[in-house]
Amino acid sequence: FYILDSTDRVRSNGSTQIHDCQAEYTIPRNHDSDSPHVKKANIPMTKGGYLVYGTAHMHTGVVNTTLYGQDGRVLCTSNPKYGTGKEAGNEKGYLVGMSVCYPKPGSIKIKDGEVLTLESIYENKFRTGAIGHFYIYLADQIPKKDLNI
């Protein structure tokens, strides 16, 4: 289980990697432009595995969040679900959920040492409390019966 963050700035202290993450950050003003705010982080994975689950934890204003492999392939995109009603859990205009990725077992392999890129995109009109967390579960191995070999 890994929690990745689009505010992560990885630096090295000799052979030790230091992750400087922020839980939340403020979206900077973009001269009132409608262009979205994009936050990216390159995150090295010490231990890889097979991706079996992925989803984002974001705040209202999110457009989507995508996790890319080192070669640029899309590993998982998590899209927002906004409420449409008045009842609790479906409040109109508020973020009420994020989509989940369940790749076919064995179809997405992340290698030891691979550098993943996490990209979070927000609408520019939201200026406070942005967040860019992405949760993934990796399996060390996939049973052969699930690989259809």
Give residue-wise pLDDT tens across range 28-55: 666 666 678 788 888 889 899 999 999 9
At 11, which helix (H) or strand (E)? strand 9-13
| CATH number of the CATH domain containing 72 | 2.60.120
Residue 94: per-residue pLDDT:
87
- Which residue shows structure tokens 């409420």? 83
What is the pLDDT at residue 58? 85
109 has a pLDDT exceeding 90: yes
**pLDDT single digits (tens) 57-73:** 888 888 899 999 999 99
**What is the value of pTM for the model shown?**
0.79
The Cα–Cα gap between 141 and 149 comes to 14
Q: How many domains does the structure of the chain reveal?
A: 1
Domain containing 20 equals 2-146
The whole-angstrom separation of Cα 39 and Cα 35 is: 13
